[in-house]
Homo-oligomer: A and B are copies of this chain.
Amino acid sequence: MGNFQLIGQENRARRGSFSTPHGVIQTPVFMNVATQAAIKGAVSTEDLYRLECQIALSNTYHLHVRPGDDLIHDLGGLHRFMCWDKPILTDSGGFQIFSLAKLRKIREEGVAFNSHVDGRLLFMGPEESMKIQANLGSDIAMAFDECVKIPSPRKYVQESADRTYRWLLRCKTAWQQNCEDEHAVNPGQMLFGINQGAVFHDIRREHMKRIAELDLPGYAIGGLAVGESHQEMYDTIEAVEEWMPKDRPRYLMGVGTPGNIIEAVARGVDFFDCVMPARNGRHGHLFTKKGIINIKNEKYLRDETPIDPECRCPVCSRYSKAYLRHLFKAQEMLAMRLAVSHNLFFYNHMMEEIRQHLELGTFESYRSQYSGILDKRI
């Protein structure tokens, strides 16, 4: 018996549960991004419980650079450091190295790069990434991969996918060794492999088949949501989905809008993460069941109603649009906290609705009602 249980299915959409050392996750699930061991917008891990959050995601690259994964290890791991006793997933650091760091050089061993904080030269390969994630003690560690740009030449994408496969073999070995270490923070840590191949369906499929053979606890589709169209993304998911093990969770990395998530659930995806609810919130863009509103709009000046009258979040149960608009206009930090809190609740609660509809076999009707409208600006 694996950690993933498939509870039900509606067409290709899946309702499941996933056991981790810090509790069971009900899927489909949205992971709440806590990049530097903190949620952006002054939201605390204590708040996350009230925001129906099941799992937090932190960034290996950021925490390695500051405060250092050795420090977090010595202080008992990331759960204890950030006071969060539910599951945590850490990414591999690869995405940030390829998007944030300077002067990177990719070799078979790994990647040399300069820290974006102080410029010091660092090196990360599969073993380093797995060691950092072991130090952090997350429940789910992600394999170290290269996330290639879209578009990239086919030849480069093939070479990169092959290297990412070789890196995954090394990740698996390192992960198994780390879990057996007597000083392991989280000996039950699991490794997810990552599928790459840009938007070349045949490269994606071949790569997926090879990594599926490694019998890992979960699999991710990486390298999407980096500039391709929504349709290309959906087509790519469809191309690899049938080669993903049915009895393992599937994670679509960095996706996406509420509509993207609904469409990806319909195509068989279980795990999601995205900075969008926090980032949009900080700019005053708030999700509702009718679409996205800009709370700074003049029309909310005297609006006494909550952001979304249907919403049961801690913000909508107390504060008016007029007050939130005032906070944004007055540049009060509280504006961001309340906006991010609402948006995170919106995402988590949408996942709860999706799960309920999957249980009732009514997901397709939920999808047709909401997939098109939730991303619209109103």
**Chain A residues in the interface with B (C-beta under 8 A):** 36-44, 46, 62, 66-67, 71, 74-75, 81-83, 301-302, 304, 314, 318-320, 322-323, 325-327, 329-330, 332-338
User: In the bound complex, what is the Cα–Cα distance between A326 and B304 (angstroms)?
Assistant: 38
In the A-B complex, the 6 residue pairs with the smallest Cβ-Cβ separation, listed nearest first, are: A42-B42, A42-B333, A38-B332, A42-B337, A36-B330, A67-B326
Please tell me if the beta carbons of A82 and B42 are within 8 angstroms of each other in the complex.
Answer: no
User: In the bound complex, what is the Cα–Cα distance between A323 and B327 (angstroms)?
Assistant: 28
User: In the bound complex, what is the Cα–Cα distance between A319 and B66 (angstroms)?
Assistant: 18
User: In the bound complex, what is the Cα–Cα distance between A335 and B67 (angstroms)?
Assistant: 14
Please tell me if the beta carbons of A42 and B336 are within 8 angstroms of each other in the complex.
Answer: yes
User: In the bound complex, what is the Cα–Cα distance between A320 and B314 (angstroms)?
Assistant: 26
Q: Choose from B318, B322, B330, B337 the contact partner of A337 (Cβ within 8 Å).
A: B337
A38: B residues at CB distance < 8 A:
327, 330, 332, 334-335
Please tell me if the beta carbons of A71 and B302 are within 8 angstroms of each other in the complex.
Answer: yes
Listed A/B pairs (28) with beta-carbon separation below 8 Å: A37-B323, A38-B327, A40-B333, A41-B333, A42-B332, A42-B334, A43-B334, A44-B334, A44-B337, A44-B338, A62-B330, A66-B329, A67-B301, A67-B322, A67-B326, A67-B329, A67-B330, A71-B301, A71-B302, A74-B302, A81-B320, A81-B322, A81-B326, A82-B323, A83-B318, A83-B319, A333-B333, A337-B337
Please tell me if the beta carbons of A304 and B75 are within 8 angstroms of each other in the complex.
Answer: yes
Q: Kindly list 20 other residue pairs between chains A and B, CB separation below 8 angstroms, not including A40-B332, A62-B330.
A: A36-B332, A38-B327, A38-B330, A38-B335, A40-B333, A41-B42, A41-B333, A42-B332, A42-B336, A67-B325, A67-B330, A71-B302, A75-B304, A75-B320, A75-B322, A81-B320, A81-B323, A83-B318, A333-B337, A337-B337
Q: Choose from B66, B319, B323 the contact partner of A330 (Cβ within 8 Å).
A: B66
A43: B residues at CB distance < 8 A:
334
Given contacts A75-B320, A304-B75, contact A334 B39 (CB under 8 A): yes
A323: B residues at CB distance < 8 A:
37, 81-83
User: In the bound complex, what is the Cα–Cα distance between A325 and B319 (angstroms)?
Assistant: 31
Least Cβ distance of A341 to chain B in Å?
Answer: 9
Please tell me if the beta carbons of A66 and B333 are within 8 angstroms of each other in the complex.
Answer: no
A301: B residues at CB distance < 8 A:
67, 71
Least Cβ distance of A279 to chain B in Å?
Answer: 13
| Interface-central residue, A40, A320, A325, A338, by most chain B CB under 10 Å | A320
Least Cβ distance of A361 to chain B in Å?
Answer: 39
User: In the bound complex, what is the Cα–Cα distance between A46 and B313 (angstroms)?
Assistant: 14
A36: B residues at CB distance < 8 A:
326, 330, 332
